[in-house]
Amino acid sequence: MKISDIYKKGKRSLSFEIFPPKKDSELKNIDETLGVLCELNPDFISVTFGAGGSSNCNRTIELAKKIKYNYHVEPVVHLTCLCYSKSEIDEFSEVLKNEGIHNILALRGDKNPDIQEKEDFKHASDLINYLRQKESFCIAGACYPECHPESENRVSEMKYLRKKVDSGAEILLSQLFFDNDYFFRFVEDCRIAGIEVPVIPGIMPVINAAQIKRMVTMCGASFPERFQKIIHRYENNKAALFDAGMSYALSQIIDLLSSDIEGIHLYTMNNPAVARKICEGIRNVI
């Protein structure tokens, strides 16, 4: 199934992101997480992909196959391009096609000084356009409610995002954010720019102070004062921070759902307790 069909039917989506374990031996342990996630009946689960080298790709594809065939949930495979050639992308896409995996989140990938960049793909839109010409995948793209860290300004951000959609992105999944006003303004800007595809907000519940400080630094998300107070008050109390972080995420999600957004994409960090708690909190409103 192509995940674009969800939105064509007017359905509101619930989805999760997970990442492949770093060691092949840990793939077995992912079943506990998947068991909980799939009990919650998500519309799809996205699986992250590392830039450079094939081992992470293999774990990504193995995990996607497990989700599809063992748990009967549609996987969305992240595919980066900055460090890959056209022939390597051809190989990846052929494997996905042969495995019956129809959905890709097409990404540029983070720059890494330790990994050689290649010349075939400089932007995610290049990968989207290339895949669109070759295969009948449903292709999703990433978006940044507070602008990509490398963007010059909001106008430039919208220009490149529109290029992704014109190249063939059918859905946009957002980077995490902690202030819904940024997301609402972002969606308005998308519509003004002629971007009409579904824009799905990405929410990450915060249960670890070090984790959130790292993520905010990496993706450039704003750290609202209300949220800062929670972190400062409870960062040394693991149980209290879990409850407070979950409550904050739930308040974000309920506010988003009450504003008729088209779905929720939850960054689980492979933590089934997070997914379960969130879904219990929104069971009657999604």
Catalytically annotated residues? 17
The alpha-carbon radius of gyration of the chain (Å, integer) is 18
- Phi-psi region at 148: left, alpha or beta (left = phi > 0; alpha = psi -120 to 50): beta
Taking a C-beta distance cutoff of 8 angstroms, is the pair 76, 47 a contact? yes
Provide the greatest CA pair distance for the chain: 52
Residues 6 or more apart whose Cβ sits within 8 Å of residue 282: 250, 253, 254, 257, 264
In sequence order, the β-bridge partners of residue 191 are none
* Residue 191: burial class (beta carbons within 10 Å; 0-12, 13-18, 19+): exposed
- Which stretches within the chain are classed as H helix? 4-8, 30-39, 55-65, 86-98, 124-134, 154-167, 180-192, 209-219, 225-234, 238-257, 272-282
Handedness of CA 255, 162, 155, 48 (dihedral sign): positive
